[in-house]
Chains A and B, each alone.
Chain A
Amino acid sequence: MIEIENVRKSFGSLEVLKGIDLTVQKGEVVTIIGGSGSGKSTLLTCINGLEPIDSGRILVDGTEVHAKGTDLNKLRRKIGIVFQQFNAFPHLTVLENVTLAQRKVLKRSRAEAEAEAVKQLNHVGLGDKLKVYPGRLSGGQQQRMAIARALAMSPDYMLFDEVTSALDPQLVGEVLDTLRMLAGEGMTMICVTHEMKFAREVSDRVAFFHKGVMAEIAPPEQLFGNPKDTELQKFLSATH
């Protein structure tokens, strides 16, 4: 379970998170929508401790992420994150991209790591690209590789930060299909996205962020069908 309690976060004088409360249950898929600068992505990087917070707290399975004694490297093993920029490691083949952290962080043997990598790469449809360097992959393929790389660490939670935003339109579908599949398999996921159709389909709940505040959160049919927040109404009519 991920518990976010009254989290505040500023960059300089700009407050990007103004007291966020959100609890995500195991197996739940929560998507976060909202305009740029609404704090959506920042929240994700706070959850895995890449960004410090100013106040409040975030608990992952009861462990307080930003507490002093927390071993973040250990905590991050159970939280996979995939970014807008695919962040493929260009000097490693697809297979090596997916085995590196398994071997060095989880200390899995090469055989074990490769078996897991092959499984995950097959899962995302890249089973035939093992020996290829990321430079030869399309954006969509690189992004799917990044997803496989995160999944190979056997995380309990997956965070997706606008994973389709940097893709050519014709490549968005293949990545969203991968996310749909994961959601279908019961992975606990928080997805920041601009894909409204996708949010509507896969989410258990959808949260709308506006200027650092979670203005509304509801099951998709309710949030899209009967939005209460006026900013959300504006946002939805602008994106439709």
Chain B
Amino acid sequence: MFNYTFQWKQALARLPQMLDGAIVTMQIAILSMAIGILLAVVLTMFRLSGNRALSAIAKTWVEIARNTPALFQIYMAHFGLGSFGIHLSPFASILLGITFNNAGYLTENFRGALKAIPDTQTRAGRSLGFGAAGAFRYIVLPQMLRISFLPMTNQMVWAILMTSLGVTVGMNSDLYGVTQDLNALTFRTFELFAVAAVIFYLITKVITLGARLVASRLFRY
């Protein structure tokens, strides 16, 4: 019915290069998550601050991040900023794009988590002499991060998968970019991308399982 001879050896021979790419992919995802979480905490505080300008910034960020394609966000980081003379490398562009997306989604997750924490927790903290910032940091924040831990894991998986959009801005050192280049050299399209897909799958699986392990260690209550 179809006339195609699988040549898995060709693809497997390139495995070391692809695994190098996988490391870059993980670097982007981890960095974008770490910065994204920090930004989301800041944006969450903006939202809570009661200051109109700050909460408008947070709101706009979340709206754009959640309601436009990730590809658009990455394009804007690369070509959009390029229009203003700010030229970011493909690595920086994809990192910026995914970080922007992560921060937006995580801010929204944090909002949901905050709703689950009763106001009386803050009140109890304040009556023990904590200032607003102290009560947030020591009492609200740890609970918020716990509640949003699984959504954060999901976002981490998304971050891994979104790195594949890097090829559109010329990224060629990550897993998807490397695979694309190898495909151009060998034309073993199915085999190469199948191997890449398996690597993606394994990475995300390890993340989800790892997160569960971390959660069971971290959250004993």
- State in angstroms the CA–CA spacing of A81 and B219 once bound together: 28
Interchain CB contact under 8 A, A90 and B126: no
Instruction: For B2, list chain A residues within 8 Å (CB).
Output: none
Interchain CB contact under 8 A, B128 and A76: yes
Interchain CB contact under 8 A, A76 and B120: no
Q: Which of A48, A80, A89, A106 has the most CB of B within 10 A?
A: A89
- State in angstroms the CA–CA spacing of A81 and B126 once bound together: 10
Besides A76-B128, A106-B129, A134-B221, 10 new A-B residue pairs in contact (Cβ under 8 A), listed by A number:
A48-B127, A73-B126, A83-B124, A85-B120, A87-B121, A101-B125, A101-B130, A105-B129, A133-B220, A150-B128
Closest to B132 in A: A73
- State in angstroms the CA–CA spacing of A149 and B125 once bound together: 11
Interchain CB contact under 8 A, A100 and B138: yes
7 closest A-B pairs (Cβ-Cβ)? A87-B124, A133-B221, A101-B128, A105-B129, A77-B129, A81-B127, A76-B129
Interchain CB contact under 8 A, B221 and A90: yes
- State in angstroms the CA–CA spacing of A227 and B93 once bound together: 77
Give the interface size class of chain A.
20 to 34
A66-91 CB mask vs B (1 if < 8 Å, else 0) is 00000001101101110101010111
Does B170 belong to the interface (CB within 8 Å)?
A: no
Instruction: For B126, list chain A residues within 8 Å (CB).
Output: 50, 73, 76
- B: number of interface residues (CB 8 Å): 21
Q: Which of A83, A90, A91 contacts B123 (CB 8 A)?
A: A83
Instruction: For B143, list chain A residues within 8 Å (CB).
Output: 89-91
- State in angstroms the CA–CA spacing of A77 and B131 once bound together: 11
Does A186 belong to the interface (CB within 8 Å)?
A: no
- State in angstroms the CA–CA spacing of A85 and B119 once bound together: 11
- State in angstroms the CA–CA spacing of A73 and B125 once bound together: 10
- State in angstroms the CA–CA spacing of A135 and B220 once bound together: 10
Instruction: For A73, list chain B residues within 8 Å (CB).
Output: 126, 129-131
Instruction: For B138, list chain A residues within 8 Å (CB).
Output: 100, 104
Interchain CB contact under 8 A, B134 and A91: no
In angstroms, how far is the closest chain B Cβ from the Cβ of A106? 8
Closest to A76 in B: B129
Instruction: For B139, list chain A residues within 8 Å (CB).
Output: 89, 100
Q: Which of A79, A135, A153 contacts B221 (CB 8 A)?
A: A135
- State in angstroms the CA–CA spacing of A106 and B142 once bound together: 21
Within 8 A of A (CB), among B177-221: 219-221
Does B118 belong to the interface (CB within 8 Å)?
A: yes
In angstroms, how far is the closest chain A Cβ from the Cβ of B139? 6
Closest to A159 in B: B127
Does B146 belong to the interface (CB within 8 Å)?
A: yes
In angstroms, how far is the closest chain A Cβ from the Cβ of B44? 17
- State in angstroms the CA–CA spacing of A105 and B139 once bound together: 13
Instruction: For A101, list chain B residues within 8 Å (CB).
Output: 125, 128-130
In angstroms, how far is the closest chain B Cβ from the Cβ of A147? 12
- State in angstroms the CA–CA spacing of A48 and B131 once bound together: 13
Instruction: For A89, list chain B residues within 8 Å (CB).
Output: 121, 124-125, 139, 143
Closest to B130 in A: A105
- State in angstroms the CA–CA spacing of A146 and B143 once bound together: 18
Q: Which of B118, B120, B127, B142 contacts A91 (CB 8 A)?
A: B142
In angstroms, how far is the closest chain B Cβ from the Cβ of A134? 8
User: Can you give 12 contacting A-B residue pairs, CB < 8 Å?
Assistant: A50-B127, A76-B126, A85-B118, A89-B124, A91-B142, A91-B146, A91-B221, A101-B130, A105-B128, A105-B130, A134-B221, A150-B127
